[in-house]
């Protein structure tokens, strides 16, 4: 069980790091597509996360700009919890309310109901038979 969680975590980190350059290069192209900005963000349903950590999550999300897409919003919320060790976090409900539909980008109020699950702490990472990926080999994933 530990190996699977650690392996998934390591693979996520390696993919994230190796593809940062291509994401940074495409940042100028996607900036025009950003349609909403989070004005306020409320999280409910958590059991183990303390108030200070919830405030840190909401503060880090407030002011963020992104595409008007519920899947992207849910993934961003889930990633905030995963970054803090809640690898099995699930966004059970996400409500997005546009505050001013005429503004550009549109300010929104987000309310998320999250089941954070157990918190994991990674004690060690052992690399064996590693392969180095060159950034030039990183290509965007298309659907």
Of 43, 18, 45, which is closest to residue 137 (Cα–Cα)?
18
Contacts for 117 with CB less than 8 Å, ≥ 6 apart: 86, 87, 88, 89, 90
Distance CA 94, CA 121 (A): 27
Percent of all residues in the chain with a pLDDT value above 70, rounded to a whole number: 73
Burial label for 24, CB within 10 Å (0-12, 13-18, 19+), is: exposed
What's the CATH class of domain 33-120? alpha beta
Closest CA to 59 of 72, 75, 43: 43
**Beta carbons of 116 and 84 less than 8 angstroms apart:** no
pLDDT digit string (tens) for 26-60? 444 444 446 899 999 999 999 999 999 999 999 99
pLDDT of residue 28: 40
Domain range annotation of the chain: 33-120
């Amino acid at each position: 069980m530990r190996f699977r969680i650690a392996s998934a975590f390591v693979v996520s980190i390696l993919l994230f790091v190796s593809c940062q350059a291509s994401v940074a290069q495409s940042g100028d192209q996607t900036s025009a597509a950003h349609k909403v900005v989070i004005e306020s963000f409320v999280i409910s349903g958590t059991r183990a996360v303390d108030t200070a950590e919830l405030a840190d999550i909401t503060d880090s999300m407030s002011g963020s700009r992104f595409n008007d897409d519920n899947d992207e919003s849910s993934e961003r919320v889930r990633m905030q919890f995963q970054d803090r060790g809640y690898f099995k976090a699930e966004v059970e409900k996400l409500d997005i309310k546009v505050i001013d539909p005429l503004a550009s980008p549109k300010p929104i109020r987000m309310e998320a109901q999250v089941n954070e699950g157990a918190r994991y702490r990674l004690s060690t990472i052992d690399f064996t038979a590693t392969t180095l990926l060159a950034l030039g080999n990183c290509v965007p994933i298309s659907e």
